[in-house]
Amino acid sequence: METTTHPDQAISLKTAFWYWLKLGFISFGGPAGQIAMMHAELVDQRRWISERRFLHALNYCMLLPGPEATQLAVYIGWLMHRTIGGLMAGILFILPSLFILIGLSWAYMVFGKHHLVSGVLYGIKPAIVAIVLAAAWRIGSRSLRTHFLKGIAACALLAITVFKLPFPAIVLFAACAGALFRQHCQLPTAHPDADSGQRTHPHALIDDDTPTPPHARFSLRHLILVALAGLVLCAGGWSLIAYATGWHNPLSEMAWLFTKTALLSFGGAYAVLPYVFQSAVDHFQWLSAAQMMDGLALGETTPGPLIMVVAFVGFVSGWNQLPLGADSQLLAGLLGACIAFFFTFLPSFIFILAGGPLVESTRNQLRFTAPLSAISAAVVGVIVSLAVFFASHVFYTEQQQWDLPAIALTMLACILVFRFKPGTITLLAIFGALGLLCQKLI
């Protein structure tokens, strides 16, 4: 049964609270699925916001680093109920997945060697390879519209897999290439018919012609104050952790790493995970490559943004590194997860609460720039490198021999994902069962 809202009815903060809380528990399917859920309920059923205003907000969130679905929830919550609405929407959207993933991380560290857990993960890992390849195809089909952009994607793939360049350098080079050769980076906007003037939807509470509410009007003073508040929270939080544990303690280093992760996550979680791999696994050696892969598998099974896998990284890193001593293993894991969570998502809230009024003041004028188009192209190559990384660990046993059942499962997963497009949870459930079956037969 559809829940509709009359355009003249104001939405109470309580009603919005229960909607965002429900969304936090059911938001499976990655950013595309989460955005589709919000569109179906907020635009089509509840009519809280119009199609054009929804897409305008989405365009802005797509331009930003960070999880676009989370930022879209913050934006709509802020537009409806001021700052408290934005904070409420964003926090309720991501908090359930944090608690679930912390519980799964603890179970993984305590029971991860159990044959049931290892069997399920054995089947899920090949499915993850297929999911990452599908993500690269989905983003590439949308962003690689010119030969120049395809070349940037190929160069990014070589840069990160062969030359081992860090992800921030790849983003910088791509942005410079886009700025220098902007004539080769012409991509259409996300909604080419947005200015056609044709109404294809019922009236909404926040409609196409609804005046911008007072709190959403641009003010330079507001922009500066919110930006400064974000800087104080980030710098103050990091300084407090560093003062309490030491400047080179893993917890302090996590705070700095995940702040950079948040600012570099153009293109979603799949794009920035190679950077997390480079730092957490290769550079700091907080956890193993196998644990990282298991974490992504667990992250795919929980609601909320996939970038929440950083909470798993923080938990396992704290558990392994014992930054608080051998007697505080669980506490270190909890602190690591919370630090990763806080510093990864804080910039997303600041971007929306500070920049939202600026976007509202330029409604119907927001466009993709050439540097961002080039970054999107580089992201495709980076995501493919992530699939290569996963495959290199899935296709070989610990004795460095070909793992034929895992290769067969990967091929089957690719066929299902590209041909039949099952839901993520359905796919992972199927391959978790197949993993158990393979473990019994091998």
The structural domain count of the chain equals: 1
Q: Are 287 and 220 in contact (CB under 8 A)?
A: no
Q: Is residue 200 part of a domain?
A: no
Q: Is residue 39 part of a domain?
A: no
Of 46, 5, 7, give the one whose Cα is nearest residue 23. 46
Distance CA 144, CA 146 (A): 6
Q: How many CA atoms lie within 13 A of 352 on its CB side?
A: 31
For residue 393, the model assigns a pLDDT of 82
Could you say which DSSP state residue 277 is in?
I
Could you say which DSSP state residue 402 is in?
B
Q: Is residue 379 part of a domain?
A: yes
Q: List alpha helices for 265-403, DSSP H.
A: 269-276, 289-300, 309-321, 329-361, 370-394
Distance CA 383, CA 120 (A): 24
Q: Is residue 327 part of a domain?
A: yes
For residue 368, the model assigns a pLDDT of 47
Q: Is residue 45 part of a domain?
A: no
N residues, the chain:
442
Residues in the chain predicted with pLDDT less than 50, given as ranges, are: 1-2, 7-8, 187-197, 199, 365-368
Backbone angles phi, psi at 9, to 5 degrees: -85, 130
Token pair listed for 33:
């699925």
The residue segments making up the domain with residue 407 are 98-191+212-441
Token pair listed for 168:
């921030």
Q: Is residue 292 part of a domain?
A: yes
Distance CA 87, CA 77 (A): 8
Q: Are 79 and 57 in contact (CB under 8 A)?
A: yes
Radius of gyration in angstroms for the set of CA atoms belonging to the chain, rounded to a whole number: 22
Token pair listed for 187:
């991509």
Backbone angles phi, psi at 202, to 5 degrees: -65, 170
Between the alpha carbon of residue 273 and those of residues 224, 266, 379, 421, the distances in Å are 31, 11, 11, 23
Token pair listed for 393:
């660990």
The helix, strand and coil proportions of the chain, stated in percent and rounded to the nearest 5, come to 75, 0, 25
Residue with tokens 């679905």: 69
Q: Is residue 267 part of a domain?
A: yes
Q: Is residue 49 part of a domain?
A: no
For residue 387, the model assigns a pLDDT of 84
